[in-house]
Amino acid sequence: MNKQESSLFKDALIRLTTNKLSFFSLIYILLLVVVAIITPFIAPYDYAYQDLALGASAPSSDHLLGTDTLGRDLLTRMMYGSRISLMVGFLATSVALIIGVIWGTIAGFSGGKIDAIMMRIVDTLYGIPFIILIILLMVIFGRNLILLFLAIGAVEWLTMARIVRSQVLNLSKQEFILAAEAMGVSKLNIIFRHLIPNAMGPVIVYATLTVPQIMLLESFLSFLGLGVQPPLSSWGLLIRDGAVSMEEYWWLLIFPSLAFSLTLFSLNFIGDGLRDAIDPRTADN
């Protein structure tokens, strides 16, 4: 059993690296993460440093990507912004992933009354306006970035749970699960060894789509004064600020948007690659 599983993941990794698009995407994301981590040591300026007299200036040798309307270096701000955006994206997605997958699997596998109750809870939570929930959390726990990530994750798991449940409902009627049950494998083992790995495909695709969605959400919350506060910035905020003055200062919109969309594309390609690679049904040996 163990031997077989480790080879499954090895195969997956090989399949992923042979897919060029997802391979380069993976490299790009890894690079981005590395840059984000070492930003404080390599950033050309301080992210809050303002040169008011300079104001907004186009890309030049002093400021490779130009400066914003308060004379702050755009490259620096994008580097610091990537830290926030990536952190929000990955942290919140992991929270959503963990809660959603566990909840969905248990509901789908248990069926009957437990399923009904668990899914009605999901439906109820869907009905609660997201913004109000976040504001409530902020009021209770104060303004705190980590908490914001967790709060977003705690709201974003709902769709995940539904996707997983539908997958599990489908899977649990299949022969290999019935066989495992007949052989007396414990329920917990069935869930974690068989159901979750087999349901992973759509989950991973949805997770890679959730990351960009959450990055956008973060910029929206920050604008309302609930997320990142100036002078710190995130990509979403940089793009929003850039969009306001795109006719006057194009570079403020173009560069952050480029970085943002490249990241989103990469995450999607990785998601696609991962789905093909992990799904045991596409195993070719």
Partner 1 sequence: MRNLLIISFLTLILGCTESIKPVDIAAENQILYIGNGTEPQDLDPHLVTGVPESKVLMALLEGLVIRNPDGPEPLPGVAKDWDISKDGKTYTFYLRDDALWSNGDYVTAYDFVYAWNRMLMPSLGSKYPDMLYDVVNAEEFNKGTIKDFSRVGVKALDSKTLKVSLKNPAPYFLELLCHYTTRPVHKETIESFGEMDTPGSQWTRPGNFIGNGPFTLDKWELNKVIIVKKNPSYWNSSVVQLNEIHFFPVDNASREDLMFRSGQLHVTSTVPPEKVESYQEKYPNNIQVDPFYGTYYYRFNTKKTPFDNKLVRQALSLALDRTLIVDKVTKGGQQEAFSFTPPDPDAYFPPTALEYNPDKAKDLLRQAGYEDGVDFPVVDLLYNTSEGHQKLAQAIQQMWKTSLNIDVTLTNTDWKVYLSRQSIGDFQIARAGWIGDYIDPKSFLDMMVTDRGNNQTGWSNKRYDNLLKEAANSTSQQQRFNKFYEAEKILMDEMPIIPIYTYTRIYMLHEDVKGWGNNILDSRPYQFVYLESN
| Positions in the binding site for partner 1 (CB under 8 A) | 48-50, 52-53, 55-56, 69-71, 216, 219-220, 223-225, 229-231, 240, 243-245, 247-249
Residue 64 Cβ vs partner 1, minimum distance, rounded to whole Å: 21
| Shortest Å, Cβ 208 to partner 1 | 21
Cβ of residue 162: shortest distance to partner 1, in angstroms?
23
CB of 254 to partner 1, least distance (A): 16
Chain centroid to Cα 209, Å, comes to: 7
Closer Cβ to partner 1, 71 or 280, answer by number: 71
**155 or 199: whose CB is closer to partner 1?**
155
Nearer to partner 1, 224 or 258 (CB): 224
CB of residue 12 vs partner 1: minimum separation in angstroms? 36
Q: Identify whether the C-beta of residue 273 lies closer than 8 Å to the C-beta of residue 25.
A: yes
How many CB atoms sit inside 10 A of residue 149's CB?
23
Cβ distance to partner 1 smaller for residue 48 or 205 = 48
Compute CA distances 127 → 131, 147, 206, 244, 283, whole Å.
12, 22, 21, 33, 40
CA distance 90 to 84: 10
Q: What is the C-alpha separation between 215 and 217, in angstroms, rounded?
A: 5
Distances in Å between the Cα of 255 and the Cα atoms of 77, 119, 191, 243 are: 11, 43, 45, 11
Contact present, 263 and 2 (Cβ < 8 Å): no
Cβ nearer to partner 1, comparing 138 with 278: 138
Residue (117 or 244) nearer to partner 1, CB:
244
CB of 69 to partner 1, least distance (A): 5
- HSE (CB half, 13 Å, CA atoms) of 222? 26
Q: Which is nearer to partner 1, 49 or 141 (CB)?
A: 49
Concatenated DSSP letters for 227-263? S--TTS--HHHHHHHHHHTTTT-THHHHHHHHHHHHH
Q: Tell me if 83 sits within 8 A of 73, measured CB to CB.
A: no
CB of 210 to partner 1, least distance (A): 17
